[in-house]
Chains A and B, each alone.
Chain A
Amino acid sequence: MTPGRAFRVVGQSVRRLDAIDKVTGRARYVTDLTQPGMLHAALLRSPHAHARIRTIDVAAARAVRGVHAVVTSADLTWCDPYFGPAFRDRPILAIGVARYEGEPVAAVVAEDEGAAAEALDRIIVDYEPLSAVTTLEEALAPGASLVHTDAPLAGHFADLSTLKPVRGTNVCHQFHLERGRGAAAFAEADLALEDCYYFPRVQHYSMEPHAALAAWDEESGLTVWASTQNPYSVRVELAKMFRVPLSRIRVIVPLLGGGFGGKTYAKLEPITSALARLAGRPVRLAISAQDAFRTVRRCDARVRVRLGLRRDGRLLAAECVADFDVGAYADIGPRIVQKGTYTATGPYRIPNVVLHSRAVYTNTTPGGAFRGFGVPQLAWPFESLLDDAARRLDLDPVELRRQNLLAHGEEFEPGDTPVDGKFEESLSRAAEAIRWTQAAASDRGRGVAMMMKASIGPTVSEAIVRLHADGSATVLASTVEMGQGARTVLAQIAAEVLAISIERVSVATPDTAMTPYDQTTSSSRSTTLMGRAVQEAAEDIREQLLRIAGEIIDAPPAELVLDDGHVVARGGRVAYPALLTERFGMGGGELIGRGIVAPGRSRAPLGGSTPFWEMAVGAAEVHVDEETGAVVVDDYVSVADIGRRINPQQCEGQDEGAVMQGLGHTLLEEMVYDGGQLLNANLVDYRVPRAEDLPSRIRCLFVENGDGAGPFGAKGAGEGSLIPVSPAVGNALARLTGVRFRELPLTPERVWRALRARPKP
């Protein structure tokens, strides 16, 4: 591909592959699937945040008509009942102790959901409540009761083999990073300022709650249809737990009704698989939306940030100390803590940095991956304090950021990928779009924030492309479609490289028996990494086509190109089917292309260099109804440094969704706990954004300099635009009202209270 050449299908807003199925009700999700003889499972959950389980009496439950099995941990000694990607600390069913309100304690398998529910009612559990730690303060207090007393095994991440728990405490991991002279450099700052912030517990609320359907058979082993973002991660967990070779575990992923990180790593698959084994029949487990709140959430975090600057605005030193509450089980919490803290200081050049963070257990819903992966929790304090620094130095917040931005090609951290974008361009576009240099109306305030996030490394994505005898193609890739449009993007890439129309490209359902290894659909990585794997696989086929064509067409190899399903040169034009016939001597056969993208380990602090940097800017204009404290975002602009949009409409849709989800935790969403009891695990009491919450104006813009490591210069996106929302709004409010907010969400009451406490002029 020569730069500047127009692409045929890349860069076009082609119709999503699944659009018509979705609008006609034909799209299938896990709970739409059945298997012959399928039974239904239901889970009994602990009502206590922390309790010893003395006895579980299942006799009455077993007697309910239609019940096939009632299962407790005592029935699971035939397998290894622990799972977890960082620590294998999470049992399939609680073993002797329940560690959070909502933890599954027993399971029922029955003919139908009614019988299962009735059986759940009849299970009698004798709990002995224990003291619980339900906040960071409680969990970190000296002498705090411990959520985990045993040392669990490490899970399946190589870079987390260096997990650093602090024995005898609730700290399950620590991360520390320094650059330059660290904290010593503060002595030279003209201005040093420090503040403490809190990012709340929020929940993904995917429209489709988690679900899994498992079936065993002697020939092929275990098959699981799962609403999961990483089938291969689930597969390796199941293999370990059930002591089955990887080749005999098959994870199939139909469409997901949303994920946002909440469906990464094993969740329901272990229990569902165990139940299917015990029942001897396929078992489907579909939890309620309420129980999703008791399955995974975002890690809340308390963060102290300190900044040291020169009078002219140059950033000299930064210190971030963050405690993340990972809930009762670590899930991927340790990595979240690392990833979030790693770029705590944003896209800026800061020569002296100290970062220290901890993952802390509490007796609450386990915290896991959620769009942004720890970075929102750090961008909220950092970008807020940066604005405070601007105010103290009497500098414009946009100019302060601009002067400190990392330059294209500059090193962020030794061993890691250099900065791969012209960040200043995104900042300028955002400032211009929000009319930063023009005075806002007297009742409006504007704020800006930036963020930078590493993707993931080391990492692996493999893809296969098959060119069929008629010149159509199938892409085999385990990237999961959860709404972001990944399958369409992969089809576009294949269609572009193979020079065929996108209508002739299929993308197979992710299926570990068919589609090769992909680490995960998360981390904004799929367009870049799996996209490149697909691109390579398609290029592999191109090379094969050109080689075959070279024997037919009389032209130098360098002059052969693919065009519209043909290999073309001055001397002729041969359609792919003819080339395959030439190759195979018959009207059959196919060409198979393979792509493997595996940027391995490196010296970078997180174990591997980031394939690309995700960087985005947010700008907001707000007003406040001071009598009630209600904050209204009138105008929101997001700019993502995306490299190249493979599908512009999809990118815009993703970023609009990211902005609204960010407005969710900024203005509306909060899991409310009373001690260890979650009070609002339902949509009546947990407020997600509605259509009427749309800002009057929302614009999602993109900077496309073709400077990404992905296909055609693409980078990843989808998380970046969520992250700046809360500090952009917080900064706008601070400029408007003079009040700095340190906690989210900025509900009317919270704002009202802070405005009332404001010193009178």
Chain B
Amino acid sequence: MPATPTPSSSSIAFTVNGHRHALEVPTHALLLDVLRDRLDLKGAKRSCDMQVCGACTVLVGDAPVSACSYLAVEADGRELLTVEGLGTPDAMHPLQQAFVDHGAVQCGFCTSGMLLSAKALLDEQPRPTEADVLHHLRGNLCRCTGYRKIVDAILACAAQSGSAA
């Protein structure tokens, strides 16, 4: 068996939820693990680990990415948003409030990813149709809610706000 190369590490700096972080990370580190284990941002979850389920969704710039399959070094110099930055109990994002109000949360494991995917959608399409929402949520699985209330929450949030926050 060939010798494993010494893990190389990289210095990276990025902004998460408005806070700047400078870190040494192994080159092979995945963004999800860096967020969860180094920055203690546990909201993004590991579920399918293969980019299908969306539980690990975070926003890099305005794009949703699967943090489970995204090298941390790719985030260097970027602005990231996790669910913790979307809103806090004292200052909830309208999407978070809509999920709460519409009963769109059950076990909660899909919720962080759902919210960030929904945010990416509403930022681009402030008035999506239900078909748009269903298309966009193709990559976000939920096993508890059956999706009805999640879709309703997103549509209600869109209807309420003239423009997304």
Contact = CB atoms under 8 A, between A and B. Distances in A.
B47 A698 contact: no
Contacts of B107: 206-208, 255-259, 482-483
Contact of B133 (A13, A24, A684, A691): A691
B146 to A, nearest CB: 3
B143 A206 contact: yes
Contact of B103 (A209, A653, A694): A653
B43 interface: yes
Contact of B146 (A21, A259, A661): A661
Contacts of A485: 106
B122 to A, nearest CB: 15
Interface stretch (B8-16, B59-67, B71-79, B84-92): B84-92
Contacts of B48: 289, 682-683
Contacts of A682: 48, 50
Nearest to B98: A23
Interface residues of B, number: 55
A257 B148 CA distance: 19
B47 A16 contact: no
B123 interface: no
Main secondary structure of the interface of B (DSSP, over half): loop
A660 interface: yes
A318 interface: no
B84 A24 contact: yes
Contact of B145 (A205, A208, A657): A657
A683 B52 contact: yes
A19 B105 contact: yes
A207 B135 contact: no
A698 B147 CA distance: 11
A25 B149 contact: no
Contacts of A15: 100-101
A656 interface: yes
A18 B151 CA distance: 20
A29 interface: yes
Nearest to B145: A657
Contacts, number: 173
Interface string B33-69: 0001000011111111110110100000000000000
B31 interface: no
Given A20-B89, A25-B112, A691 B45 contact: no
A257 B83 contact: no
Interface string A641-660: 00000000110111011111
Task: Name the residue in B4, B36, B111, B134 with the highest tally of chain A Cβ atoms < 10 Å from its Cβ.
Answer: B111
Contacts of B96: 20, 23-24
A761 B30 CA distance: 60
A31 interface: yes
A24 B41 CA distance: 11
A24 B143 contact: no
A18 B108 contact: yes
A257 B137 CA distance: 19
Nearest to B154: A691
B146 A698 contact: yes
B12 to A, nearest CB: 18
Max chain A C-beta neighbours (<10 A), residue from B43, B48, B89, B146:
B146
A692 interface: yes
A309 to B, nearest CB: 35
Interface string A10-53: 00010110111111111111011000000000000000000000
Interface in B129-165: 133-135, 137-138, 140-151
B115 interface: yes
15 contacts: A21-B89, A23-B105, A25-B82, A26-B89, A27-B108, A29-B45, A207-B53, A207-B141, A256-B107, A483-B107, A652-B103, A656-B146, A684-B50, A691-B137, A691-B150
Which 3 A-B residue pairings sit nearest by Cβ, starting from the closest?
A: A25-B43, A483-B107, A257-B109
Given A656-B147, A688-B141, 14 more contacts: A20-B100, A23-B96, A23-B111, A25-B44, A26-B84, A32-B36, A255-B107, A289-B47, A683-B141, A684-B50, A691-B150, A691-B151, A692-B137, A694-B146
